[in-house]
């Protein structure tokens, strides 16, 4: 029993120390831009293993990002971003129900189910900044803790700024400025509404859509996001 209690105490101590480390890292981001994310580092390693490292990223401040792009990304990825506390429980419930139905249909047809996510922008940022891509309850629990820490320590504008500057938009293309230059040969500040909606629609599968620029789904979804943007509330 003493050995078990000692091991449990060491585990709790290590867990608390890890959370304090994350608190320090996030608090530092109030004034300092993160140089890279966990996801970016894993992608750099993957590209290096493949023999190439095409990499494009340049940080731009919140006010230098097109208002159209901010609205488009929120309309596409997280339309209640300005109002929730980091987790959109209603969206999670809807995603859970939709995934359950998809798995049932897939089981009947003996195919793979198409799973949708209900993660907010803050949750996506928490995962990309600090965590691996594995899907476990422990990782999801840590993601929730990090999400709440981000919401408590950073403003909504800062969260959106970091997200737009670090999210993947293609093979080795990270952040809004790199994406604007890569796809439209202009700065992120100059993106118009259609270009912004187009980029926003790519976010769930950027490398896939980079190879299919004439995708019918991409065109249709861009129109839908365009129609939603005017009603999207910015932080």
For the segment 171-191, what is each residue's pLDDT rounded down to a tens digit?
999 999 999 999 999 999 999
Three-class DSSP category at 2: helix
In sequence order, the β-bridge partners of residue 150 are none
Q: In percent, how much of the chain has pLDDT > 90?
A: 62
Integer Cα distance of 3 and 69 in angstroms: 55
Q: Give φ, ψ of 78 to 5 degrees.
A: -165, 80
Predicted TM-score (pTM) of the model is 0.88
Burial of 69 (0-12, 13-18, 19+ CB in 10 A): buried
Give the phi and the psi of residue 18 in degrees, each rounded to 5: -65, -40
Mean pLDDT, rounded, for 4-22: 81
Residues 6+ apart with CB under 8 A from 186: 180
Domains of the chain by range and CATH? 39-84+156-235 (1.10.3810.10)
Per-residue pLDDT at 151 exceeds 60: yes
CB atoms within 10 A of CB 209: 20
State mean pLDDT over 11-34: 90
Q: Where are the beta strands (DSSP E) in the chain?
A: 168-170, 173-174
């Amino acid at each position: 029993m003493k050995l078990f209690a000692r091991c449990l105490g060491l585990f709790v101590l290590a867990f608390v120390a890890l959370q304090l480390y994350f608190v320090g890292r996030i608090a530092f981001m109030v004034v300092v831009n993160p140089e890279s994310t966990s996801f970016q580092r894993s992608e750099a390693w993957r590209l290096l293993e493949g023999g190439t490292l095409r990499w494009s990223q340049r940080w731009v401040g919140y006010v230098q990002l097109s208002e159209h792009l901010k609205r488009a990304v929120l309309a596409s990825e997280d339309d209640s971003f300005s109002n929730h506390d980091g987790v959109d429980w209603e969206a999670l419930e809807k995603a859970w129900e939709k995934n359950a139905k998809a798995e049932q249909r897939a089981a009947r047809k003996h195919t793979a189910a198409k799973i949708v996510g209900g993660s907010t922008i803050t949750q996506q940022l928490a995962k990309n900044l600090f965590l691996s891509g594995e899907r476990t309850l422990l990782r999801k629990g840590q993601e929730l803790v990090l999400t709440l820490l981000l919401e408590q320590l950073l403003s909504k504008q800062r969260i959106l700024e970091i997200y737009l500057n670090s999210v993947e938009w293609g093979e080795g293309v990270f952040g809004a400025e790199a994406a604007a230059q890569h796809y439209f040969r202009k700065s992120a500040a100059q993106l118009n509404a259609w270009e912004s909606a187009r980029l926003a629609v790519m976010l769930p599968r950027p490398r896939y859509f980079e190879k299919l620029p004439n995708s019918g789904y991409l065109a249709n979804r861009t129109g839908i996001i365009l129609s939603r943007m005017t009603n999207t509330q910015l932080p």
